Amino acid sequence: DIQMTQSPSSLSASVGDRVTITCRASQGISNYLAWYQQKPGKAPKLLIYEASTLQSGVPSRFSGSGSGTDFTLTISSLQPEDVATYYCQRYNNSPRTFGQGTTVEIK
């Protein structure tokens, strides 16, 4: 099975900082990559699909890039409401593996 590896596992940044999270697939997955945001006690929320397409209603400070095996989620200007855990997921086929998550905190 294809494994998804995220880095870092956690980060702390100041409000207004640019934040980058990476996700690497053990084999090529074209652009079948999604990013989710999960806040404590809540269901995950889809942020980005097809590696770089912003889901409707998601703030434009979120962006995604990459194709093949290497992908990036960027928050251009970190806001207090962005405190959450972020997961990547491949969906080219099953099993629809998730990365292990990246927890983002405010410094």
Partner 1 sequence: QVQLVQSGGGVVQPGKSLRLSCAASGFTFSSSGMHWVRQPPGKGLEWVAVISFDGSNTYHADSVMGRFTISRDNSKSTLYLQMNSLRPEDTAVYFCARGPVRWAFDVWGQGTMVSVSS
The footprint of partner 1 (CB under 8 A) covers 32, 34, 36, 38, 43-46, 49-50, 55, 85, 87, 89, 91-101
Q: How far apart are CA 81 and CA 70, in angstroms?
A: 27
Q: Judged by CB, which is closer to partner 1: 27, or 93?
A: 93
- Least separation in angstroms between CB 71 and partner 1: 13
Q: Judged by CB, which is closer to partner 1: 43, or 107?
A: 43
Q: Judged by CB, which is closer to partner 1: 49, or 82?
A: 49
- Least separation in angstroms between CB 79 and partner 1: 22
Q: Judged by CB, which is closer to partner 1: 13, or 46?
A: 46
Q: What are phi and psi of 82, to 5 degrees?
A: -85, -5
How is 3-20 classified by DSSP, letter by letter?
-EEEE-SEEEE-TT--EE
Q: How far apart are CA 58 and CA 88, in angstroms?
A: 16
99: exposed, middle or buried (Cβ count in 10 Å: 0-12, 13-18, 19+) = buried
- Least separation in angstroms between CB 74 and partner 1: 18
**β-pair type (102-106, 10-13):** parallel
- Least separation in angstroms between CB 21 and partner 1: 14
